[in-house]
Amino acid sequence: MVIKVKNLVKRYGDLIALDHLSFSIKEGEIFGLLGPNGSGKTTAINCILSLLKYDKGEIEVFGELMTPEAYHIKRDIGIVMQNVAVYNELTVYENIEYFCGLYVKDRNLKKKLVEEAMEFADLNEFRNFRPKKLSGGLLRRLNIACGIAHKPKLIILDEPTVAVDPQSRNKILEGIKELNAKGATIIYTSHYMEEVEQICSRIMIIDKGKAIATGTKEELKAMISLGEKITVESYDISEEQFARLRQLPNIVSAEYNDPLIEIKSIKGKNNLENVLEFIKRENIQFGKIYSELPTLNDVFLEITGKELRD
């Protein structure tokens, strides 16, 4: 195991930020860490890095007990936090060189690693730019290059695609998969569920400091009651027909946002067939009709609830 967390408890006065949290991460995984705001994600990461003292529990990294003085372990960890942390006084190249130099002292090796990080993040043509002249996407890529230049075995990425354009987001996600393919184990946090679903091999959802669900995306989807979502394009359904539609077996909810009828059902074999039979029986005119399975976002909302979090 790359990381093993056992019965981790962290309190801030009367507030329990982590409540006997336990989980493990295998070598070579892209491990998605999900949770609402205030669920304990950042606290858990800071405890793993020994940046926070905790009240109870044990954390092992690379098979060794993690402590604030375990610098030989920390050398093999790369951190890319949500807030971009680079020096505005330095150029793109100098920033990467500086952060790489915190781990690598050999001058020739450091130069080689910096050039590889520049190539990886596609920053060569911006090497002499200062951060203030970079777009949001380029800043994110610079932030990642600074965090991974020393070739860490474990990379922690906290919301690395926040506020970037689709092209930069795609470039970042491709880069993460490339790092993983080259042997890095990755912890990935994001509020973009489609990203997590796209790249993570296993996912843990935490809430109120507890692990409430862990598994592959398929395993998580199997945990919830929601089945397929059926969308029907129709312009002539009456209020009475819509009311009868909502009474069909296995229908959880139905909404009519002219011209789309959006139906959510519990798991069952004949949900789409039942809806089609109803439409034909009622002589309802329809255009497009399609069905889709639950997404990771559906799982997240069913497990953690839909109320807003601060």
pLDDT of 309 > 70? The answer is no
Q: What percent of the chain has pLDDT over 90?
A: 85
Q: Are 286 and 279 in contact (CB under 8 A)?
A: yes
Q: How many domains in the chain?
A: 2
Query: What is the domain extent for residue 157?
Result: 3-221
Same domain, 232 and 153: no
Give percent above pLDDT 70 in the chain: 98
303 token code pair: 């497990």
**Helix 136-148 crosses helix 92-101 at what angle (to 10 degrees)?**
30
- 39 and 155 belong to one structural domain: yes
Which of 159, 191, 221 corresponds to the end of one domain?
221
Question: Cα–Cα distance between 12 and 23 in angstroms, integer?
Answer: 22
Q: For 87, what's the count of Cα atoms within 13 Å in the CB-facing half-sphere?
A: 11
| Sign (positive or negative) of CA dihedral 236, 241, 243, 249 | negative
> Within a domain: residue 77?
yes
Which structure tokens are listed for 301?
């909302």
Tens digits of residue pLDDT in 160-194: 998 888 988 899 999 999 999 999 999 999 989 99
User: Does 298 fall in a domain?
Assistant: no
CATH code, 256: 3.30.70.980
Q: Same domain, yes or no, for 92 and 234?
A: no
Task: DSSP for 207-228, please give it.
Answer: ETTEEEEEE-HHHHHHHSSEEE
Describe the strand order of the beta sheet including 251-257 as a list of residue ranges: 251-257, 260-266, 226-233, 289-292
Q: How confident is the model at residue 307 (pLDDT cuts 50, 70, 90)?
A: low
For residue range 192-231, what is the model confidence (pLDDT) as tens digits? 999 999 999 999 999 999 999 999 999 999 998 888 999 9
Q: 80 and 208: one domain? A: yes
Q: What is the pLDDT of residues 63-117, one digit of tens each?
A: 999 999 999 999 999 999 888 999 999 999 999 999 999 999 999 999 999 999 9
| Domain shared by 195 and 242, yes or no | no
- Specify the CATH number for the domain of residue 160: 3.40.50.300
Q: Per the domain annotation, does 310 fall within a domain?
A: no
- Mark whether 177 and 235 lie in a shared domain: no
Give tens-digit pLDDT for 35-73.
998 899 999 999 999 999 999 999 999 999 999 999 999
Phi, psi of 250 (to 5 degrees): 70, 5
Confidence of residue 306 (pLDDT cuts 50, 70, 90): low
Same domain for 211 and 235, yes or no, is no
The answer on 182 and 115 residing in a single domain is yes
